[in-house]
């Protein structure tokens, strides 16, 4: 838990996954040039792996509690991604240990509807998927919901996300807890959803402003700090790679210009930081705000 100018920020971790660095960049010269600031937090000592942390963020303002990106969820059939298949984690126990009960949550926001960003929208009870946060409004960008709804004409499924809409989105809509919004939407004063398309057709970010503090919860616009420097690097799985690269370029400039704190979905400790620039090269500068 940390406090920033009237805000309380909490982080709830589901699990961490090691990924070969070659999946992001096969260029050893690029890695060598940036090893001084990437190691040891963002690549291992031999540059063989980096880490994706599956985690949610809880924002507590004076009058609302907001959950951003509720991870994978337990007991899901995800055979294409064995790492996500039939999980049995203590996520909810960690959530409550962070100081918030699921029933206390006012809003849930998923930056997009990939399986690892909306799984804990629901949980299995009595053979049915029911809302995990029963008193919350689940704010979802309409464009993103329509992109994944298998009942809509032109729906294009991807193998790793099969069943996610039926398990994690439809039950929320059926329960009357979904609030489908435009690409740009004010959740509350100082808290807004903004488009960051590319990774998915409706991928979005959450901008939060409190006093002089500005934060961006950037979802999967960036998977790794090196993408701040080289936006063309990617991990695959994008609906539109050209748009994803353009989003990264625009977003890093905006983060730098606003001196805003960047909170990506999957960065390992220290999880958040600022964008700096020197000689026209952008870098991610980590800031420790969550003690691990």
- pLDDT for residue 3: 66
Of 52, 149, 71, give the one whose Cα is nearest residue 110.
Answer: 71
- pLDDT for residue 27: 79
- pLDDT for residue 1: 59
- pLDDT for residue 291: 61
Query: Taking the CA of residue 246 as centre, how many other CA atoms within 13 Å lie in the half-sphere pointing to its CB?
Result: 8
Give the structural domain span for 56. Answer: 2-288
- pLDDT for residue 93: 97
- pLDDT for residue 36: 87
- What's the N-to-C CA distance of the chain in angstroms? 10
In 205-274, alpha helices (H) = 226-229, 241-258
CB 236 within 8 A of CB 247: no
The DSSP output letter for 35 is H
The CATH number of residue 179's host domain is 3.60.15.10
Task: Report the alpha-carbon distance of residue 265 to residue 175 in Å, rounded.
Answer: 27
Full pLDDT tens readout for the chain, 292 residues:
576 677 899 999 999 999 998 898 777 788 888 888 998 899 886 758 999 999 999 999 999 999 999 999 999 999 998 999 999 999 999 999 999 999 999 999 999 999 999 999 999 999 999 999 999 999 999 999 999 999 998 788 999 999 999 999 999 999 999 999 999 999 999 999 999 999 999 999 999 998 889 999 999 999 999 999 999 999 988 999 999 999 999 999 999 999 999 999 999 999 999 999 998 899 999 988 766 5
How many domains are contained in the chain? 1
CB 150 within 8 A of CB 165: yes
């Amino acid at each position: 838990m940390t406090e920033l100018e009237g805000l309380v920020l909490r982080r709830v971790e589901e699990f961490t996954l090691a990924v070969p660095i070659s999946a992001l960049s096969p260029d050893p010269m690029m890695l060598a040039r940036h090893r001084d600031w990437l190691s040891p937090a963002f690549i291992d000592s031999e540059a063989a792996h980096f880490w994706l942390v599956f985690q949610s963020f809880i924002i507590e303002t004076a009058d609302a509690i907001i959950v951003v990106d509720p991870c994978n969820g337990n007991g899901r059939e995800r055979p294409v991604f064995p790492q996500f298949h039939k999980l049995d984690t203590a996520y909810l126990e960690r959530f409550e240990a962070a100081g918030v009960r699921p029933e206390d949550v006012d809003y849930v926001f998923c930056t997009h509807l990939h399986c690892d960003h909306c799984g804990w929208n629901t949980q299995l009870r009595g053979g049915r998927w029911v809302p995990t946060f029963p008193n919350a409004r689940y704010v979802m960008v309409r464009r993103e919901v329509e992109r994944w709804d298998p009942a809509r004409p032109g729906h294009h499924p991807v193998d790793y996300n099969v069943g996610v809409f039926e398990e994690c989105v439809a039950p929320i809509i059926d329960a009357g807890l979904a609030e489908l919004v435009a690409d740009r939407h004010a959740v509350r004063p100082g808290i807004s959803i903004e488009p960051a398309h590319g990774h998915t057709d409706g991928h979005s970010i959450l901008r939060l402003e409190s006093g002089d503090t500005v934060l961006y919860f950037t979802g999967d616009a960036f998977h790794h700090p090196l993408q701040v420097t080289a936006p063309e690097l990617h991990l695959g799985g994008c609906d539109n790679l050209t748009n994803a690269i353009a989003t990264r370029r625009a977003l890093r400039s905006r983060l730098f210009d606003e001196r805003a704190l960047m909170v990506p979905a999957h960065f390992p400790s220290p999880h958040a930081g600022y964008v700096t620039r020197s000689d026209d090269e952008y870098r991610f500068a980590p800031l420790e705000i969550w003690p691990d």
